């Protein structure tokens, strides 16, 4: 099967910090790819480059064979690549329902979008359906600023999915969420995405989540890819164990609760730095 998303030799540095070098990735349709790596390994930079937020210094990005390297986030989105954010990017002063309505309205790409009312029956129904799919319907009337973190994360992802993208990039969908909620959120997201047949790339720190949801894993280390393959293989890979999951191994059994607690602390630190 031909890759729908392909990057060739991506390079990016911020001052003296190298965030990416020689990044070659090819993603096939309907794959669910996990991206792992320590803090500062270049995972978010990768997503930022693919979605046009950051321009690579060198290298090319192809979507269905078309060069999208120089495109803006808007253009990339309109081609069918959506993303979610580590820190949810929602319309904080609007309700959950209105957030989705606005996203749905934008997705219509209607020439008369300056005239046709947003609160139309079909859009209201779509918004309700989307909220149900992501299990946030209970919060429909809540202002986004007041939402619990987990719900806000789900809303962020739901807004990205409204475009019915071919590829969805999720930047740490479970960061900042309590350990108990993580699986619940991932279950919700993954079943919603399965229903829409989306190709998914997701950045994740928690190896249990990677093991459960990813078919394939790409491991980043200091701006390079050190492993790319089937999930079990990559997780068993020596360098990956050493550089990416090393801490978890030293912390003892990765199934044990305290280790998971450590993981949360580490993720929060990165979230603060964003």
Partner 1 sequence: MLTALAILIDGLVYSSWLFIVAVGLSLIFGVMKILNVAHGSLYAFGAYGAATMVGIYFDAGWAPLGSFAMLLLAALVMGAILGIVLERGLLRFVYGRDEVIIVLVTYAAFLILEDVIKLIWGVDPYYAAQLYGLLGMTEISLLVFSNYDLALIGLALFIGGSLWLAINRTRWGKLLLAVIHDREMSQAFGINVTRVYTVTFVLGAVLGALGGAFTAPMISVTPGIGVEVIILAFAVVVIGGMGSVPGAVIGSLIVGLSRAAAVHLLPEIELFVIYGVMSLVLIVRPQGLFGKTAEKRI
Partner 2 sequence: MIEKDKTLRTLAIAVAIFAVAGFFLPQWAVFMLTLALAKGLVVLGLLILWRTGLLSFGHALFYCTGGYAVGLAGLWGLTDVVALIALGTVASILLAFALGFLITRYREIYFAMLSMAFSMILYGVLVKSEVLGSTDGFNISPPTFLGVKLEGESLTLGNYLVTCLLVWAAGWGVHRYLQSTMGHMSIGIRDNEIRVEYLGVSVRRVIHVKYVIAAALAGAGGAISAMVVGHIDPDSMAYWTVSGEFVFVTILAGTGSVVAPFLGSIVFELVRTYAFQYTPYTWQLILGSTLLLLILILPDGLWSLFTRRKARV
Closer to partner 1 by Cβ: residue 48 or 231: 48
Q: Name the minimum Å distance from CB 85 to partner 1.
A: 6
Q: Counting contacts by CB under 8 A, is residue 91 touching partner 2?
A: yes
Q: In a 3-state reduction of DSSP, which class is residue 78?
A: helix
- Contact (CB, 8 A) for 41 and 221: yes
Q: In a 3-state reduction of DSSP, which class is residue 58?
A: strand
Site string for partner 1, 20-59 (x = CB under 8 A): ----------------------------x----x------
Q: Which stretch binds partner 1 (CB under 8 A): 85-93, 101-109, 134-142, 213-221?
A: 85-93
Q: Counting contacts by CB under 8 A, is residue 48 touching partner 2?
A: no
Closer to partner 2 by Cβ: residue 98 or 248: 98
What is the distance between the alpha carbons of residues 227 and 198, in angstroms, rounded to a whole number?
A: 24
- Cβ atoms within 10 Å, residue 109: 9
Q: In a 3-state reduction of DSSP, which class is residue 129?
A: helix
Phi, psi of 232 (to 5 degrees): -60, -40
Closest to 65 (Cα-Cα) out of 23, 1, 2: 2
Closer to partner 2 by Cβ: residue 3 or 106: 106
Q: Which stretch binds partner 1 (CB under 8 A): 28-36, 80-88, 221-229, 231-239?
A: 80-88
Q: Counting contacts by CB under 8 A, is residue 109 touching partner 2?
A: yes
Q: What is the CA radius of gyration of the chain?
A: 19
Q: Which residues contact 223 (CB under 8 A, 6 or more apart)?
A: 12, 18, 19, 20, 21, 23, 41, 42, 45
Closest to 10 (Cα-Cα) out of 45, 43, 58: 58
Phi, psi of 173 (to 5 degrees): -60, -20
Q: Which stretch binds partner 1 (CB under 8 A): 20-28, 79-87, 102-110, 144-152?
A: 79-87
Binding-site partner at residue 139 among partner 1, partner 2, none, CB < 5 to 8 Å by type: none
Q: Which stretch binds partner 2 (CB under 8 A): 2-10, 11-19, 27-35, 114-122?
A: 114-122
Name which of residues 148 to 187 contact partner 2 (CB under 8 A).
159-160, 162-163
Q: Classify strands 32-37 and 199-203 as parallel, antiparallel or unpaired.
A: parallel
Q: Which residues are at the interface with partner 2 (CB under 8 A)? A: 51, 72-74, 77-78, 82-83, 89-95, 98, 101-103, 105-110, 112-119, 121, 124, 141, 143, 159-160, 162-163
Q: Which residues are at the interface with partner 1 (CB under 8 A)? A: 48, 53, 85-87, 89, 274
């Amino acid at each position: 099967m031909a890759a729908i998303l392909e990057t060739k030799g991506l390079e990016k540095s911020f001052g003296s910090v190298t965030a990416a070098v020689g990044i070659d990735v090819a993603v096939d349709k309907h794959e669910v790819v996990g991206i792992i790596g320590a803090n500062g390994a270049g995972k978010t930079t990768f997503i930022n480059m693919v979605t046009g937020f950051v321009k690579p210094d060198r290298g090319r990005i192809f979507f269905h064979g078309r060069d999208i390297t120089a495109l803006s986030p808007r253009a990339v989105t309109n081609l069918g690549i959506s993303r979610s954010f580590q820190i949810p990017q929602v319309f904080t002063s609007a309700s959950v329902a209105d957030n989705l309505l606005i996203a749905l309205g934008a997705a219509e790409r209607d020439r008369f979008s300056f005239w046709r009312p947003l609160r139309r029956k079909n859009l209201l129904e779509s918004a309700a359906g989307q909220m149900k799919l992501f299990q946030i319907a209970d919060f429909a009337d809540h202002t986004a600023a007041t939402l619990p973190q987990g719900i806000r994360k789900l809303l962020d992802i739901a807004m990205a999915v409204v475009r019915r993208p071919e590829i969805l990039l999720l930047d740490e969908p479970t960061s900042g969420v309590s350990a108990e909620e993580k699986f619940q959120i991932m279950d919700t997201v993954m079943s919603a995405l399965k229903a829409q047949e989306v190709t998914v790339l997701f950045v994740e720190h928690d190896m249990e989540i990677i093991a459960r949801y990813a078919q394939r894993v790409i491991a980043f280390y200091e701006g390079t890819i050190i492993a790319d393959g089937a999930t079990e293989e990559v997780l068993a890979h020596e360098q990956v164990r050493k550089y990416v999951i090393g801490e978890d191994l030293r912390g003892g059994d990765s199934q044990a609760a305290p280790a998971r607690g450590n993981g949360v602390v580490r993720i929060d630190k990165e979230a603060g730095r964003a």
